Chain A
């Protein structure tokens, strides 16, 4: 046993150097050279100022923007988190009913509208950057109204939302979705060119 302990220490040290230091540092080096943008978090800068990451959702409360999914951590990434409410949770039931009512009321939708489930339920990470295409579609009227768009501008807005629609990757992987931050960034430039 004593020899085994001694051998273990040497082996652990060797493995630490190899898999715990050389391997991650080498991967960092390669990643920083080959994929510098992705490796550093797909950050978005406007006029040199960091406004967020295209992969990390952020809060939008204003009527002028498309809203993201509910988040258990309010889009604060420190730390990421989910509600972890089960299907028989009282709190979840109340939250879902409240979110449904709010979504319908604040978007001025008919009261029998089927609200897509991504707007009723919080995501797993609390940082989900995407919403479903349906959830984006149902917000178009509200955004157009808040921005005082005329009919032509509203058609542009619809086109903008459509152009931000991502289908399944490679044609079959994953779900169709719309990245909220990217859409809202484009929305702001739409407003600028208008003026």
Chain B
């Protein structure tokens, strides 16, 4: 009598994925081209509207946007801004009871949770140890979290711009001005897109109000307190800025955060949009769109493979006691395909928002999420930071290719020497080292193990996921792990700081060194970096680095769990 639902992957699912990828591909060039103009201070179609505001911001902050910074000065501006942001956000949380817009009279946040959340938003991670609707006041959500959603994304983009300028400029110290990059990215890119997305969301049912929670009496006479708040404005930038920290505890599974398949589509698109467009921006800025498209192609190829593996696992593997794909942690309106498409998008970028609970996915789908983050968020990745990390991989690939053919490696006319390679290796490996050390500590200590929600190998996956997510500045979770403890709040805070700032030091050090160099014209011995061959080499390097670093722990977690699940073993 009714149409069947769930369980079988069919045309309906292929169409949804196809339309999604098509929309991403079509929007990438125009947005990328616009960003290349806007973030570099060139005149664009928004200048008549926002140009005055931009100038006014420089004026009241007494900043000269044309004052060039060398790499150390740029780095110190990034760190100073992050530090100030961290302190202020921490203070807002621990004093929220005395601040306005707190209709539920929520108490001050504990010092360690406030530290975790402050680090989390400042580093663009947006790990949620907090439950928005029962922990944070509207004021903290707006003036604290929303602000950091903007500036941490803009800060990531700024660092990428500095790295690109290092590649394109010759014999100079200057990498641009951090404040100008920050302001332009926020004003011309993030803010307008957020306004559009927020309006789409509200139209579909996402809440946007300053009223207190609603008290309902259900049809069966029970009391239900319905949490609401100024959510749409925050969710828009949370999706666009690869942030991912939810207004509500369950993030974009919550019907007020993601009410319909339409909002789901736009929220999902927003996860990848700017990161994807910034690869096009890169091609434009280095004067060769092909350079950008090769990197973009690598990203899309890896994305599609990871998506395919995760879908295959979720549709085909399940414990013997059921005969259909699992709907645990999934919402009816999204079903399996949209949940897995979101899962892949949110973990390849450093977004970390969720529309289904990753903890309840099949082991190989969980593995896909883990591996996506273990690449170091280079498949589209976080805004700015994703492509910047990818460029470190590009330098390593150029170096390895150079070793193979016995020539001095060069990239876009710049010689790649020991210093750049060392810095790239540090930037690429630091998060991995942090992940493994912290996971090891948590796996053998009582305080680490007491947070577990699942036994057996899945327990190890929960811990591994938490530290991977933090070091990759992702923020999604195997949310069964109860991380709101002093141990996890602090270790994860450190993990996030390492994952954000060690790579940033590497990007900027490489940028400074490259900017200083002369440009050498390409010769017959130059290994071309705008070909499919280079793309394959790049994929190889990325996979080898992630696989060698993490294969043992993945074998002990999700891989062994996969076989135990098929055998019907439970814990």
**Are A87 and B264 interface neighbours, CB within 8 A?**
no
Report if B438 contacts A (CB, 8 A): no
**Are B7 and A117 interface neighbours, CB within 8 A?**
yes
Report if A107 contacts B (CB, 8 A): no
Task: Mark each residue of chain A from 48 to 86: 1 if its CB lies under 8 Å from any CB of chain B, else 0.
Answer: 011111011111111001000100000111111111111
Task: Mark each residue of chain A from 135 to 149: 1 if its CB lies under 8 Å from any CB of chain B, else 0.
Answer: 011000000000000
Stretch at the interface among B127-135, B423-431, B525-533: B127-135
**Are A116 and B228 interface neighbours, CB within 8 A?**
no
Report if A127 contacts B (CB, 8 A): yes
**Are B255 and A55 interface neighbours, CB within 8 A?**
yes
A10 and B220 contact, Cβ closer than 8 Å, known pairs A55-B205, A117-B324? no
- Measured CA separation A83–B144 after assembly (Å): 29
Which chain A positions have C-beta within 8 A of B318?
87
Which chain B positions have C-beta within 8 A of A86?
359-360, 363, 366, 454, 458, 461, 478, 480, 561
**Are A82 and B479 interface neighbours, CB within 8 A?**
yes
Contact residue among A11, A40, A97, A188 (Cβ-Cβ distance under 8 Å from B207): A40
**Are B219 and A65 interface neighbours, CB within 8 A?**
yes
**Are A56 and B255 interface neighbours, CB within 8 A?**
yes
Which chain A positions have C-beta within 8 A of B454?
84-86, 88-89
**Are A20 and B143 interface neighbours, CB within 8 A?**
yes
Task: Mark each residue of chain B from 250 to 281: 1 if its CB lies under 8 Å from any CB of chain A, else 0.
Answer: 10011110011110110000000000000000
Residue of B88, B205, B210 contacting most chain A CB atoms (<10 Å): B205
A92 and B328 contact, Cβ closer than 8 Å, known pairs A24-B234, A40-B211, A87-B363? yes
A42 and B205 contact, Cβ closer than 8 Å, known pairs A19-B146, A23-B191, A121-B326? yes
**Are A127 and B150 interface neighbours, CB within 8 A?**
no
Contact residue among A5, A123, A170, A181 (Cβ-Cβ distance under 8 Å from B253): A123
Which chain A positions have C-beta within 8 A of B264?
173-174
**Are B357 and A185 interface neighbours, CB within 8 A?**
no
Which chain A positions have C-beta within 8 A of B112?
none
The residue of chain B having its C-beta at the shortest distance from the C-beta of A97 within the complex is: B321
Report if B2 contacts A (CB, 8 A): yes
B286 to chain A, nearest CB (A): 28
**Are B16 and A172 interface neighbours, CB within 8 A?**
yes
Report if A160 contacts B (CB, 8 A): no
B475 to chain A, nearest CB (A): 16
Interface size class of B (residues with CB under 8 A): 35 or more
**Are B227 and A79 interface neighbours, CB within 8 A?**
yes
**Are A124 and B331 interface neighbours, CB within 8 A?**
yes
- Measured CA separation A120–B7 after assembly (Å): 13
Contact residue among B6, B191, B355 (Cβ-Cβ distance under 8 Å from A117): B6
A39 and B217 contact, Cβ closer than 8 Å, known pairs A5-B84, A27-B195, A175-B5? no
**Are A174 and B208 interface neighbours, CB within 8 A?**
no
Report if A93 contacts B (CB, 8 A): yes
Report if B445 contacts A (CB, 8 A): no
**Are A82 and B19 interface neighbours, CB within 8 A?**
no
**Are B208 and A28 interface neighbours, CB within 8 A?**
yes
Chain B, range 184-236, C-beta contacts under 8 Å to A: 186, 191, 194-195, 198-199, 202-211, 213-220, 222, 224-228, 230, 232-234
Report if B151 contacts A (CB, 8 A): yes
- Measured CA separation A74–B61 after assembly (Å): 50
Which chain A positions have C-beta within 8 A of B220?
58-62, 65
- Measured CA separation A92–B561 after assembly (Å): 15
Which chain B positions have C-beta within 8 A of A78?
133-134, 213, 225, 227
Report if B453 contacts A (CB, 8 A): yes
Which chain A positions have C-beta within 8 A of B19?
172
A172 to chain B, nearest CB (A): 5
A43 to chain B, nearest CB (A): 6
Chain A, range 121-173, C-beta contacts under 8 Å to B: 121-134, 136-137, 158, 162, 165, 168-170, 172-173
Stretch at the interface among B399-407, B514-522, B535-543, B562-570: B562-570
Contact residue among B60, B77, B254 (Cβ-Cβ distance under 8 Å from A14): B60
**Are A69 and B233 interface neighbours, CB within 8 A?**
no
The residue of chain B having its C-beta at the shortest distance from the C-beta of A70 within the complex is: B328
**Are A173 and B265 interface neighbours, CB within 8 A?**
yes
A80 and B254 contact, Cβ closer than 8 Å, known pairs A87-B363, A132-B332? yes
Which chain B positions have C-beta within 8 A of A172?
12, 15-16, 19
- Measured CA separation A90–B456 after assembly (Å): 10
A63 to chain B, nearest CB (A): 12
The residue of chain A having its C-beta at the shortest distance from the C-beta of B258 within the complex is: A125
**Are A93 and B319 interface neighbours, CB within 8 A?**
yes
**Are B332 and A177 interface neighbours, CB within 8 A?**
yes
**Are B209 and A132 interface neighbours, CB within 8 A?**
no
Report if B147 contacts A (CB, 8 A): yes
B65 to chain A, nearest CB (A): 12
Which chain A positions have C-beta within 8 A of B213?
78
Which chain B positions have C-beta within 8 A of A101?
none
Which chain B positions have C-beta within 8 A of A11?
61, 63, 81, 179, 182-183
Which chain A positions have C-beta within 8 A of B262?
169-170, 173
Which chain A positions have C-beta within 8 A of B319?
87-88, 93
Chain B, range 303-323, C-beta contacts under 8 Å to A: 318-319, 321-323
Which chain A positions have C-beta within 8 A of B456?
88
Chain B, range 10-28, C-beta contacts under 8 Å to A: 12, 15-16, 19
**Are A123 and B330 interface neighbours, CB within 8 A?**
yes
Report if A4 contacts B (CB, 8 A): yes
B239 to chain A, nearest CB (A): 14
**Are A125 and B202 interface neighbours, CB within 8 A?**
no
**Are B255 and A133 interface neighbours, CB within 8 A?**
no
A176 to chain B, nearest CB (A): 5
- Measured CA separation A28–B199 after assembly (Å): 10
- Measured CA separation A162–B331 after assembly (Å): 21
Contact residue among B198, B224, B248 (Cβ-Cβ distance under 8 Å from A75): B224
Q: What 13 additional pairs, Cβ within 8 angstroms, besides A20-B142, A27-B199, A118-B6? A: A5-B84, A9-B84, A10-B61, A43-B214, A58-B218, A77-B133, A79-B227, A79-B248, A80-B253, A88-B570, A122-B328, A123-B329, A185-B219
Would you list 23 pairs from A and B whose C-beta atoms are within 8 A, ordered by A residue? A8-B84, A9-B84, A15-B147, A19-B151, A23-B233, A27-B202, A28-B209, A31-B209, A38-B203, A38-B204, A40-B207, A50-B216, A61-B220, A76-B225, A79-B248, A80-B254, A82-B328, A84-B360, A85-B480, A86-B458, A121-B327, A123-B332, A168-B12
* Chain A interface residues toward B at CB < 8 A: 1, 4-5, 7-12, 14-16, 18-21, 23-24, 27-28, 30-32, 34-35, 38-43, 49-53, 55-62, 65, 69, 75-90, 92-93, 96-97, 114, 116-118, 120-134, 136-137, 158, 162, 165, 168-170, 172-177, 181, 184-185, 188
The 5 closest A-B pairs by CB, nearest first: A174-B261, A124-B253, A84-B480, A175-B335, A4-B80
